[in-house]
Structure 1
Amino acid sequence: MGKKKRRDIPVFDRPIIETHCHLDYLKDRPLSETLSEAQRVNIERVITIAVSPDNLPTVRELTQSAPFVYGTQGIHPHEAETWTDAVDTEINHHARDEKIVAIGEIGLDYFYDHSDRATQQDVFRRQLQIAADHDQPVVIHSREADEDTIAILKEFETIQKRRGVIHSFTSGPELARYALDNGWSLGFNGISTFKKAESVRDIIRMTPIDQLLLETDSPFLTPDPYRGRENAPFYIPFIAENVANVKDLSLETVLETTYQNSLRTFFENGPQAA
């Protein structure tokens, strides 16, 4: 049998905000080409995400690569054991830079346990406090850690505005319900297009459209029908289409509402349109 035919990337007449990618990890093409293709498919802004001490400055440099590229500052739970006073100072110093729109990617990952769990929890708390101190939203990573994620977020209910997202949501309905009931958004990417990801689609169905964000997490998790290739921000239209299908909403509704959700989450108190 022949290979499955890949259709062209759709181009919509409404703008899209790519809320989570890692531009410094992309290898298949020059950055300028990636960003040009993103603009071609009407991606208005791109948020590239920090994960480690090494790429904190890299992300800041990337935000200067184009007017529509923004970034975050934060340490991924995989890198929690790299936390130092110097890292704390660096994130605090740059938390309100002109093109830094969130603290992240922060959280807990008990699936890989690359860092000690107690250390992950401590670094998660420290970064939630930084976000609260600077009135910045957060980008949260949670994998196989639902109970502790809820417990730690509860500690910050009185000081953190709960403006942010649990990205690449693959957790269970308990964490989803807690997050949604407390005003957080959930981010969905190419996983939602995978045949065996019905549990993720179930969460999409229970997520109000005004609390849902679109992301790629590129270069990972490339959506169908391009699975197997390196992911990139310009594949996000496939995720928008999938969300519309899963929620039985018009594509126009999904595009307009998720665009406004992205503005509210990341740009309410920060940089305006480029």
Structure 2
Amino acid sequence: MSQKRREIPVFDHPIIETHCHLDYLKDQPLDDILSQTRAVNIEKVITIAVSPANLARVRELSRQQPWLYGTQGIHPHEAESYSDACEAEIRQHADDDKIVAIGEIGLDYYYDNADRNVQREVFRRQLQIACDHDQPVVIHSRDADEDTITILSEFEHTLKRRGVIHSFTSGPGLARYALDQGWCLGFNGITTFNKAENVRDIVRMAPIEQILLETDAPFLTPVPYRGRENAPFYLPFVAEKIAEVKALPLVEVIRTTYQNSLRTFFPV
């Protein structure tokens, strides 16, 4: 894909990368990626667990630098690998100092990599972990809006901290429900894609006070670097696009999403 590439902008105010997969990055040494990430004034990075196989790796990564954090949870693609032992491991580490959420959990009916009944059961079990440990949640929902709403509604009164529906590509019904219930919506490089007007419509709909910035690296690299492996240091392009779509001053977007990230994952 031919694109006019430009330097990554560096903002005076720090930003927070709320969703990436550091253990999936392959194109550069991790130390180089982290150095470039700090160079564009990214203050904190949250790397996300997705399977029984990477729970421990995420914990290890979160301990490598004081500004790295992690989550514990099983992605719906991996729901059939969920077990009592896996749940025990998530519970054991849910309150670790560097673990800031339960996730990535939820439903994916687009790929259907796991039986839908199993996905729903595993989603509920992990939401209960978040309730029991008073942790926010990182949710994945694709082509499953109705069931996501149904299951979240079951936990409205017991899940004290909400969290984020990340990489939001769902419809306005789920967006409205989530926003009304106090969830944030996470947006990434998809907002820069030519054919993603449906996602930009949700960006316009969502109050800036309920938007989080993320890359989902190594996936979904934003314009103007599509075709390369994504990385946390491309996050400033997402911030710029959010400001453009919402017709807000860039500095307001940066400062507000920063506070949103602190409120969601790092409450005082």
Which TM bucket (shorter chain)?
Answer: over 0.9
Q: Which residue in 2 is equivalent to 1:20?
A: 19
Aligned-residue offset at 1:5: 2.1
Is the CA contact (8 Å cut-off) linking 1:75 and 1:106 kept in structure 2?
Answer: yes
Is the CA contact (8 Å cut-off) linking 2:3 and 2:225 kept in structure 1?
Answer: no
1:186-242 Cα deviation digits (max 9, x unpaired): 000000000000000000000000000000000000000000000000000000000
Could you list the runs of 5+ residues in structure 1 that have no partner in the other structure?
270-274
Aligned-residue offset at 1:67: 1.1
1:217 matched to 2:216 = yes
1:139-179 Cα deviation digits (max 9, x unpaired): 00000000000000000011002420000000000000000
1:45 matched to 2:61 = no
CA distance in 1, matches of 2:177, 2:38: 35
Is the CA contact (8 Å cut-off) linking 2:62 and 2:68 kept in structure 1?
Answer: yes
Q: Which residue in 2 is equivalent to 1:156?
A: 155
Q: Which residue in 2 is equivalent to 1:242?
A: 241
Aligned-residue offset at 1:4: 2.9
Q: Which residue in 1 is equivalent to 2:97?
A: 98
CA distance in 1, matches of 2:2, 2:124: 47
1:191 matched to 2:181 = no
Aligned-residue offset at 1:103: 0.1
Q: Which residue in 2 is equivalent to 1:10?
A: 9
1:21-41 Cα deviation digits (max 9, x unpaired): 000000011111111100000
CA distance in 2, matches of 1:148, 1:11: 40
CA distance in 1, matches of 2:206, 2:106: 21
Is the CA contact (8 Å cut-off) linking 2:165 and 2:185 kept in structure 1?
Answer: yes
TM-score (norm 1): 0.97
Secondary structure of 2:170 counterpart: coil
Secondary structure of 1:104 counterpart: strand
Aligned-residue offset at 1:264: 0.3
Q: Which residue in 1 is equivalent to 2:206?
A: 207
Secondary structure of 1:35 counterpart: helix
**Which amino acid counterpart does residue 255 of structure 1 have in structure 2?**
I
Is the CA contact (8 Å cut-off) linking 1:162 and 1:182 kept in structure 2?
Answer: no
Is the CA contact (8 Å cut-off) linking 1:146 and 1:175 kept in structure 2?
Answer: yes
1:76 matched to 2:84 = no
Q: Which residue in 2 is equivalent to 1:272?
A: none
CA distance in 1, matches of 2:192, 2:89: 37
Q: Which residue in 2 is equivalent to 1:251?
A: 250
Could you list the runs of 5+ residues in structure 2 that have no partner in the other structure?
none
Is the CA contact (8 Å cut-off) linking 2:134 and 2:161 kept in structure 1?
Answer: no
- The percentage of counterpart residues that share the same residue type is 73
Q: Which residue in 1 is equivalent to 2:128?
A: 129
The structure 1 segments of at least 4 consecutive aligned residues displaced by more than 3 Å after TM superposition are none
Is the CA contact (8 Å cut-off) linking 2:94 and 2:133 kept in structure 1?
Answer: yes
Aligned length: 268
**Which amino acid counterpart does residue 30 of structure 1 have in structure 2?**
P
**Which amino acid counterpart does residue 72 of structure 1 have in structure 2?**
T
Q: Which residue in 1 is equivalent to 2:54?
A: 55
CA distance in 1, matches of 2:126, 2:235: 28
Secondary structure of 1:9 counterpart: coil
**Which amino acid counterpart does residue 207 of structure 1 have in structure 2?**
A
1:75-114 Cα deviation digits (max 9, x unpaired): 0000000011100100000001010000000000000000
Q: Which residue in 1 is equivalent to 2:28?
A: 29
